[in-house]
Chain A
Amino acid sequence: MRATIETESKRVMASGAAQPRIRISRAGMRYDAIEVFRDVDLDVGDREVVAIIGPSGCGKTTLLRCIDGLLPLTAGELRVEGEPVRGPREGVAMVFQHFGLFPWKTVAQNVAYGLKMAGQRPDAIAAKVAECIKLVGLAGFEHYYPHQISGGMQQRCGLARALAVEPRVLLMDEPFGAVDAQTREILQFELLKIWEMRPTTMVFVTHSIDEAVLMGDRIVVLKGRPSSVHEMVEVDLPRPRSRATLTLPRFAQLREHVWSTLMAEALEAEHEVKK
């Protein structure tokens, strides 16, 4: 535990920032009688990519929504760029699990949404929208409606909408959870490429161990009832990462490590059901 804290503070020093982008201390959340998580500590440095993984119902998504300011914590403290989070902030953007696209808006109008909310000028919006649509590979589909394009393209649109506001912190809630396996892989590698072009602080929730190891600098394993940080796994794979990363022996090692950490609990749960 101490070792983790030391590496974290080193990371923060190395990035040259006086404070981490996100600082979560002793965070707790409860809905009435149900305590979801407790005593969660997590610092995320500038341009660091953190994956949150854990069994269903452990509060991964809830934690992410707290960071976005959509939900208040019931205990502890949460600071983004040094300021306590009291609601959705400028500089933080979210990619939603089920895309969250407005079905009555075209791809271009959906991508423009965040910029419009930020009160930008129409010509600036138009330029930014065109740029982001190109970045995520949706050029030519500007005037399609969400129901006319595939799930993968819909999430590209959701990603473009978040990138358009040039967030310093990008949050993603199981971003590729609702698309098929092949599309998921394609989108993972594209996201890695996009991140190399414009690195931001990124926190994402996932069910996929491969995804967590491939994309993350660190993996937060949430476990228990109420859940808390069970383990913090440092992913020391070199960047830029690509399909070749998947073949590194270190990738397999890390993958195996996270797998056994998670599966111990899954097996226990299975056993409980049988009893």
Chain B
Amino acid sequence: MSRARARVRRVTIAASLVLGAIIWQVAGHYTSDAFWAPLSATLASLVEVVRTGVLLRQAVSSFELYLAGLVVAVVVGAPLGMLLARVGWLRVALEDYIMMLYATPMVALIPFILSIMGFGFAPKMLVVFLFAVFPVLYNTIEGARSVRPELVEVAKSFRSGEWRLWCDVLIPYTMPFTMTGVRQAIARGLVGMVAAEFFLSPSGLGQMIMMGSQNFDTAGMLAAILIIVLLGVALMDLGRHLEGRFARWRSYSP
């Protein structure tokens, strides 16, 4: 029964993807090349950029930017979140700023970052960082603050010091919450990466999209977008996997 249902599911997914590809192909034939390119032309363009090495170079450049921003966001966001959860006055002092920045569409800050920091790698990384850091920070604070008081009491009862309390209780307890933040940061960081490559000095996959658009090379543009889509799907999967790994016991409540 369930095996039959699983097969139906697989067939439906495959049919949906094939149908999507056909619509893409047909739509490309009936519209101007300036608006839309058929799937075949897009794939041909993709093969071309792979062959010349342009894609690899640009993708690596994008990924470096993305990874640098994301790693700094996690490395700053997670410990800062833990600290804010434990130190009451610091949290009260910074809480409003964090909420304001979390609510601000980060794209609005890009012109400001441009005028202050110019066109280098650092301002672009800052954009990715700003997109990614708040989900990590926010979820970590929420997690660390929700630690079950009984567990802290157990640690105290067995005469744990503050440092051991962090290692044995606070950090493991907060990890699944932080991972939820990381999963969100993985998606938001990708948005930040493309935004930075559009609006600061053009580079990477963002630059490929821009150039394709400006030169009416729609197939080239769609090829770059397709790569970003695939990258996004793969990264979201990775994020969900990471979250699941640390969340096995999360529903546990005695």
| B233 interface residue per 8 A CB criterion | no
Taking CB atoms and an 8 Å cut-off, the chain B residues in 128-182 that contact chain A are 150-151, 153-160, 164, 168-169, 172-173, 175
| A192 interface residue per 8 A CB criterion | no
Q: Is the CB of A151 within 8 A of B153?
A: no
| A45 interface residue per 8 A CB criterion | no
> Taking A96-B150, A100-B151, A102-B151 as contacts, is the C-beta distance between A88 and B158 under 8 angstroms?
yes
Q: Is the CB of B168 within 8 A of A102?
A: yes
> Taking A101-B254, A103-B249, A113-B168 as contacts, is the C-beta distance between A96 and B153 under 8 angstroms?
yes
> Taking A154-B254, A178-B254 as contacts, is the C-beta distance between A88 and B249 under 8 angstroms?
no
Among all A-B residue pairs, the 4 with the closest Cβ atoms: A103-B249, A147-B252, A100-B154, A103-B252
A151 and B251 CA atoms in complex are apart in Å by 15
List the B residue with the shortest CB-CB distance to A68. Answer: B157
| B5 interface residue per 8 A CB criterion | no
Within 8 Å CB of B151, what residues of A?
Answer: 100, 102
A85 and B252 CA atoms in complex are apart in Å by 34
Interface residues of chain A, those whose CB is within 8 Å of chain B, are 65, 68-70, 87-90, 93-94, 96, 98-104, 113-114, 117-118, 145-147, 151, 154, 165, 178
Q: Is the CB of A104 within 8 A of B156?
A: no
| B248 interface residue per 8 A CB criterion | yes
A271 and B229 CA atoms in complex are apart in Å by 69
> Taking A98-B150, A102-B172, A117-B164 as contacts, is the C-beta distance between A165 and B158 under 8 angstroms?
yes
Q: Mark B205-231, 1 if CB is under 8 A from A, else 0.
A: 000000000000000000000000000
List the B residue with the shortest CB-CB distance to A101. Answer: B254
A230 to chain B, nearest CB (A): 28
Our pick among A98, A147, A154 for the contact of B251 (Cβ within 8 Å) is A147
